[in-house]
Structure 1
Amino acid sequence: MAFDFAFLASGNYGALILGGVLTTLRLFASSWVLGFIVALVLVGLRGVPLRPFQWVISLFIEYHRNVPTVVQIMVWYFGMPQILPREVRLWLNHGDTEFLFALIALSLNVSAFMAQDILSGVRAIPATQVEAARSVGLGAFAALRYVILPQAIRVAVPPLVNRSLILFKDTSLAMVIGVGELTYQVRAIENLTFRSFEVFAVATGIYLAAALMLMAAGATFAKRFPADFRS
């Protein structure tokens, strides 16, 4: 059987793939930024000395770390609207509901892993760093923000890069609720053309190229900002 990629240039197949790539990148970037912010909040709240509060945070992290990501997406898309007020459901139905719920699910999911990675980085910081920060008059949260977190994030760069790669690949799971990302569009083209090898080869190349660029960006960041704190 002869393989022919030229058909992708005909009709609107190229536009579909481009649209899928842009949606994938938008979903990934938005989920990463929101997830990182939530992770930083979780790390900060870990210092609150209230046991019930810590239980809630631990439950949040364990749920998102142990329940399959695709299930979390479906819980948000199919389950959450059932418990929302009718007015909110109607408002959501007028927008891009699929993208919104995929964004929320992926952001919360990746935040749990990022929080654990950053916490591991915090534990790697010598105690003398905390003592030095407190000795110059910084409070607990100020020391965490200005002294501990910047160093902890540098330590956590390798696992954060790995988690970013997983998040990028997890964007393909959004197809189960109809988000028009790359995998969704490739699957639609395959159903129309029955050219399975060609369309999935293109998708594979795109995912591989993006993953390699993420790895290169992570390596560049780690090299430029090494975790070389003093004990």
Structure 2
Amino acid sequence: MLVASAALVLLLWLMARMLAWAPDPIGPNAQAFADGTWTTVQLTLVAGAAGVMLGLLAALAKLSPLPPLRWLAALYIWVVRGTPLLVQVLFVYFALPALVPAFKVSDFASACIALAFNVGAYNAEAIRAGLQAVPRGQVQAAQSLGMSAWSSFAGVVFPQAIKIALPSLANNIVSLLKDSSLAYAIGVVELTNVGNRLQAVTFEPLPTLVTTALVYLALTTVLTQLAGALEHRYDVEGRRP
């Protein structure tokens, strides 16, 4: 996992230097691509972390014995998974401030909010499946040893549920990296936006689109390796006596 994390940092650090060797129009705009790549990674990290927390809360609400919480969680998951992400991004940036005048944030923050709520709905189903996959007998055994309901959940159920849900959560984060490209629609200068602007100025779509695709491919490859290393670490730790 440390190697994969170092590879991501190294990729971000060397991005401008590597692209500077490319022919026109990429080479002279290497720093713009590097800055756009860093913005894409920031969107993914911020929205990904928030999306995991939202997913956990929604999963717990959906499994709650209280009907209003279950209905609210089901409504959230149904609406988010049933509408396009682009519409959600535009809604948060344009419609939400009209509905709530006090809600005015930057384009970057709006993109993070929309992406977090979107991936949170998918994370909720992954975490819910993980929680329900833990044998109920383990909870009963923990409680028979005198553990409280919270202690048995935090110490027995939750670690196993996250381990089960981890592959799905990792896939959602990788998808989030690619979905962050929709932030260009509200003016966030991320990787796709940089490519679009350069293409509009140079009228050379092939090099800009190929470069953009290759950078996304490199990012998703490193992120997939990082997710795989994390899964392996959990497997190893889970087998320790």
Which whole-Å CA distance do the structure 1 matches of 2:194 and 2:25 have between them? 15
Letter in 2 for 1:198: P
8 Å CA contact 1:5–1:198 kept in 2: the answer is no
Are 1:122 and 2:131 matched, yes or no?
Answer: yes
Which whole-Å CA distance do the structure 2 matches of 1:154 and 1:141 have between them? 19
Question: TM-score, normalised to structure 2's length?
Answer: 0.84
Are 1:162 and 2:171 matched, yes or no?
Answer: yes
Cα deviation for residue 120 of structure 1 reads 0.9
The equivalent residue for 1:75 is 91
Question: TM-score, normalised to structure 1's length?
Answer: 0.87
8 Å CA contact 2:63–2:128 kept in 1: the answer is no
Cα deviation for residue 74 of structure 1 reads 1.0
Which whole-Å CA distance do the structure 1 matches of 2:72 and 2:170 have between them? 27
Are 1:42 and 2:42 matched, yes or no?
Answer: no
Cα deviation for residue 47 of structure 1 reads 4.1
Question: How many residues get paired?
Answer: 217
**Aligned in 2, Cα 1:45/1:133: closer, same or farther, shift over 3 Å?**
farther
In the alignment, structure 2 segments of 5+ residues that lack a partner are 1-21
Identity %: 31
In the alignment, structure 1 segments of 5+ residues that lack a partner are none
SS at match of 2:26: helix
Range that drifts further, 16-25 or 123-132: 123-132
Which whole-Å CA distance do the structure 1 matches of 2:214 and 2:38 have between them? 15
SS at match of 1:226: helix
Letter in 2 for 1:8: I
Q: Which residue, 181, 193, 201 being the options, matches 2:202? A: 193
Which whole-Å CA distance do the structure 2 matches of 1:189 and 1:178 have between them? 14
Which whole-Å CA distance do the structure 2 matches of 1:43 and 1:137 have between them? 26
Which whole-Å CA distance do the structure 1 matches of 2:192 and 2:147 have between them? 49
Per-residue CA distance 1:160-188 (angstroms, 9 max, x = gap):
12111111110001111111110001100
**Aligned in 2, Cα 1:146/1:46: closer, same or farther, shift over 3 Å?**
farther
Cα deviation for residue 62 of structure 1 reads 1.0
**Aligned in 2, Cα 1:151/1:224: closer, same or farther, shift over 3 Å?**
same
Q: Which residue, 5, 27, 32 being the options, matches 1:9? A: 27
The equivalent residue for 2:70 is 54
Q: How much is the aligned-residue C-alpha RMSD, in angstroms?
A: 1.8
User: For residues 88-107 of structure 1, what are the structure 2 equivalents within 5 Å?
Assistant: 88=102, 92=104, 97-107=106-116
